[in-house]
Structure 1
Amino acid sequence: MTAGLRSITLVRHGTTEWAASGRHTSVTDIGLTPDGRAEAMALWPFFRDRGRNFDGIYTSPLKRARHTAILAGFTDADPHDGLREWHYGRYEGKTSAEIHREWPQWTIFRCGAPEGESREAVQRRCRSLIEDWQKRGHEHVLCFAHGHILRALACCWLERELEFGDQLHLDAGSISCLGFEHQSPAVLFWNLHPHFCGGGRGAEPILRGTTHP
């Protein structure tokens, strides 16, 4: 499935007001908080120090992701609708606590979103993303997007069911990288925080041995 495509580097956008309060945000197009802008700016020295070895750079068209890409130094990131957040439907703007009062067992990876996107629709979207990047001849892709769609994309890369997304925590302003280990799809590193370690320099032990910044 991943022939030709060697790595996907995932960046979750910086903090927004809704994210800080735990409210689910998909189609609502809100900007970054001051903390979110600081998280995004901390990405720039991380990528500067490691070069820009990407032949495909993409962002969700929503402004919280686009602004993160710009502040990280990637003003040339191409908007891609496939990177929009999982549509939460009736749960847009609600916190997990509010949702669980209605549906105690709910997680989006196991249940999807009522009046929003189903698990199957999101899985198709993620597979289409990977196929699109393959068709474009990309080897190393960088994408700026959102917590749930990036975790779903990781599940598809790893050839796991979407339920596995419940076991993948992804913070605002974090960097992760998918690639290969002995020809098998693998996580090269996950949920790295450049804003906690001086632009990423303190993260070198985590990155050592990988083949991509």
Structure 2
Amino acid sequence: MADNEGLTPRVFIVRHGETEWAKLGRQTGKTDIELTPLGLKQVLTTASHLVGEEKLLDPAKLARIFVSPRKRAQQTLQGLLGFHLNTIQSNGIEVTTTEDVAEWDYGEYEGLRLPEIRARRKEKGLDEEGKVWNVWGDGCEGGEVKDQVKERLDRVIAAIREIQAPCMRGEKAADVLVVAHGVILRAFVMRWLGYPLEMPLNMMLAPGAVGVLSYKNNSVDEPAFHVGMALPVE
């Protein structure tokens, strides 16, 4: 049976726009940094093209929103939905601000660039000869490890599936929006598909970008992601 994209619920994942630290390649977890002017423009441009009635992300079809508590994510949500956000909330659609979708806690690596982290670990003898550190498998000193991240993301995914399971054939609006951060959203995709976080799967998600997850064959037991998605036909 072919997927019915007009009916099957979707999960939109949106990365916040550019920040000064992201622009410099500095690991940004708990640091509460705001969007740059360009970062806000990235979000507004995404919104103008993709958000609205009969567009890719139709606010009228949302059943729930999850957003990171960090300023950069909160600003992104406001810029993305604009006036739609007040309507959504007045209609009783829950907007959940939660640490469960906050960025990976980098601990002692906060603010460092990738080469600096790897050099630091080499000096401390934390990595075997020839091994290169990556956050997915190794976690962060004083911060989170993969199992902690997996636990909180799995909690969100379980809540989403509970919302969407009764709506696999469009019984009611059940799209979900998650506004968060680059690394945690890539981890979210891994867990959505049931993959371990350390499994090698190169992914990219640009600042202000939108990814789309859903299900094959209108089945909640077949989570999938859209490699490409056509825009709605007017």
Bin for the TM-score computed over the shorter chain? 0.7 to 0.9
CA contact (8 A) 2:9 2:164 kept: no
Q: Distance in 1 between matches of 2:70 and 2:97?
A: 9
Distance 1:165 1:17, change over 3 A: farther
**Which one has the largest radius of gyration?**
2
Measured after TM superposition, the shift of residue 40 of structure 1 is 1.0
1:95-121: CA deviation from partner (whole Å, max 9, x where unpaired): 011112133611111111111011000
In the TM superposition, 1:1-213 aligns within 5 A as 6-45=9-48, 46-48=50-52, 50=55, 51-52=58-59, 53-73=61-81, 75=85, 76=89, 77-103=95-121, 105-136=132-163, 139-164=174-199, 166-182=201-217, 183=219, 184-189=222-227, 206-208=228-230
- In percent, how many aligned pairs have the same letter? 31
Measured after TM superposition, the shift of residue 166 of structure 1 is 4.9
CA contact (8 A) 2:14 2:208 kept: yes
Q: TM-score scaled by structure 2?
A: 0.74
Alignment length, in residue pairs? Answer: 190
> Any idea what SS the aligned residue of 1:148 has?
helix
Q: Distance in 2 between matches of 1:63 and 1:98?
A: 26
1:115-161: CA deviation from partner (whole Å, max 9, x where unpaired): 10110000011101112234456832101100111111111110111
Distance 1:84 1:165, change over 3 A: farther
Q: TM-score scaled by structure 1?
A: 0.81
Could you tell which deviates more after superposition, 43-52 or 115-124?
43-52
- Root-mean-square deviation over aligned CA pairs: 2.1
Measured after TM superposition, the shift of residue 209 of structure 1 is 8.1
